């Protein structure tokens, strides 16, 4: 399989979908020059300014126009640059796009993709570093995707573009340069289907997005201690693969959920509660969550690292569950 970066995988996915379907187009700030991270580089040369559309700095206007265009039959891909900036357009997404299909009795759909880069990225500070995926998983009508690998970033973006419901597509900024194998051909991802990263019998560790790589590293260290961790990458938070998680925890009897986002009211709490309600008699230890403290993310690298969930913390938490 060819090897490419997380960024290039998403660029290829969009280009292939635009070639396949003339109703697919992209809109956002700075797309003509390739986007903030280069994920649109060169696309304007092939598709022109009508389909790689530069917009003024008004997130609510960008998303509002895209919602209307989606309801009229096109398939917009909206670039919000940072998930933090998308909050300026949260009404258009949460109160309009998410509810239109229901409120019109199925007479209209909103096939819209909203790309919201998330996560900490080289001292970007409090207004450019948040992971807000739990906000959108809470909203009926929205699909939430959180790809962790180049292969998934291509396959899930294709699935998002073809979806007839609005998809909040959250790519981690720290993963843009990550390289990995990507299957050739028209491979389309499946929402609600988790990826088994590593098999194990002692403890189940569930994660998503960039935190998956921290967990995978922790699993290697745990193996050196004789602890066999099973690692699951959810891939999408709504829908999420409840069956895969229940099946794994049913075998291991232990669950650790790891997220980069603030732990308070994060999506990890949903996973933890869901499993605890259904498998409480099979659990060998209380369910545990790891996430960031409820504080703003600092600019200073040393303080940013204090917020970050690191490999050592995952190892210690998993060890504690096994030794409980």
pLDDT of residue 1: 87
Q: How far is CA 123 from the centre of its chain?
A: 20
The CATH classification number of 3-181 equals 3.40.50.970
pLDDT at 123 exceeding the cut of 90: no
> What are 195's two structure tokens?
């990826």
Cβ pair 55, 6 in contact under 8 A: no
Q: Mean of the pLDDT values across residues 67-72?
A: 97
Q: With bands split at pLDDT 50, 70 and 90, how would you rate the model's confidence at 231?
A: very high
CA-closest candidate to residue 321, choices 292, 291, 295, 287: 287
pLDDT at residue 262, rounded to an integer: 97
Domain boundaries defined on the chain: 3-181, 195-323
CB 234 within 8 A of CB 257: no
CB proximity list for 277: less than 8 A, separation 6 or greater = none
Asked whether the predicted pLDDT for residue 100 surpasses 90, the reply is yes
Given this model, what pLDDT does residue 53 score? 97
Tens digits of residue pLDDT in 233-252: 999 999 999 999 999 999 99
Handedness of CA 10, 197, 227, 242 (dihedral sign): positive
* 195-323 matches 3-181 in CATH topology: yes
pLDDT-based confidence at 111, cuts 50/70/90?
very high
Structure confidence at residue 27 (pLDDT):
98
Instruction: Give just the sign of the alpha carbon dihedral 220, 235, 316, 303.
Output: positive
128 catalytic per annotation: yes
Whole-number pLDDT of residue 110: 98
What pLDDT is recorded for position 181?
Answer: 98
pLDDT at residue 300, rounded to an integer:
93
Look at residue 121 in the predicted model and tell me its pLDDT.
87
Strands 288-292 and 255-262: parallel
pLDDT score for 105 = 96
The mean pLDDT value for 130-153 works out to 98
- Considering 128, 138, 172, 280, which one is annotated as catalytic? 128
Query: Burial code of 266-290, b = ≥16 C-beta within 10 A, e = fewer?
Result: bbbbbbbeebeeebeeebebebbbb
Q: Quick count: other Cβ atoms within 10 Å of Cβ 239?
A: 14
C-alpha distances in Å from residue 88, one per residue of 60, 63, 68, 81, 85: 6, 10, 17, 12, 6
Mean pLDDT (the chain) is 97
What average pLDDT does range 126-133 have in this prediction?
93
Q: Which of 174, 161, 68 is nearest to 124 (CA)?
A: 174
pLDDT at residue 273, as a whole number: 98
Question: How does residue 33 score in pLDDT terms, banded at 50, 70 and 90?
Answer: very high
Average pLDDT over residues 167-179: 97
Q: Which CATH number fits domain 195-323: 3.40.640.10, 3.20.20.70, 3.30.465.10, 3.40.50.920?
A: 3.40.50.920
Nearest-angstrom CA–CA distance, 76 and 92? 14
- Residue whose C-alpha is closest to residue 26's, from 47, 57, 6, 4: 47
Q: How far is Cα of residue 258 from the mean position of the Cα atoms in its chain?
A: 14
Q: Average pLDDT in the 156-174 region?
A: 98
State the average pLDDT over residues 153-180. 98
């Amino acid at each position: 399989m060819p090897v490419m970066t997380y960024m290039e995988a998403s660029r290829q996915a969009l280009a292939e979908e635009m070639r396949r379907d003339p109703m697919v187009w992209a809109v956002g700030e700075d797309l003509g020059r390739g986007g903030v991270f280069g994920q649109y580089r060169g696309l304007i040369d092939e598709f022109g300014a009508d389909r790689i559309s530069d917009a003024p700095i008004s997130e609510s206007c960008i998303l509002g126009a895209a919602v209307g265009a989606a309801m009229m039959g096109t398939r917009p891909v909206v670039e919000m640059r940072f998930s933090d900036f998308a909050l300026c357009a949260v009404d258009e997404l949460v109160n309009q796009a998410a509810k239109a299909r229901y409120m019109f009795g199925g007479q209209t759909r909103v096939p819209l993709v909203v790309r919201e880069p998330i996560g900490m990225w080289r001292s970007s500070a409090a207004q450019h570093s948040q992971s807000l995926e739990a906000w959108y998983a809470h909203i009926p009508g929205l699909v939430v995707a959180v790809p962790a690998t180049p292969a998934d970033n291509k396959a899930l973006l294709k699935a998002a573009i073809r979806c007839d419901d609005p998809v909040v597509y959250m790519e981690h900024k720290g993963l843009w340069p990550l390289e990995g194998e990507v299957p050739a051909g028209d491979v389309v991802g499946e929402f609600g289907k988790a990826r088994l990263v590593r098999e194990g019998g002692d403890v189940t560790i569930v994660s998503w997005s960039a935190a998956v790589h921290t967990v995978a590293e922790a699993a290697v260290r745990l193996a050196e201690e004789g602890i066999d961790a099973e690692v699951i990458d959810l891939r999408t938070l709504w829908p999420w693969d409840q069956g895969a998680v229940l099946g794994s925890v049913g075998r291991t009897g232990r669950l650790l959920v790891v997220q980069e986002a603030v732990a308070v009211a994060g999506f990890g709490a949903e996973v933890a509660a869901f499993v605890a309600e259904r498998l409480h008699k099979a659990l060998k230890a209380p369910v545990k969550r790891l996430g960031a403290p409820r504080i703003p993310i600092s600019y200073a690298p040393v303080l940013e690292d204090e917020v970050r969930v690191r490999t050592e913390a995952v190892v210690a938490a998993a060890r504690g569950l096994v030794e409980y």
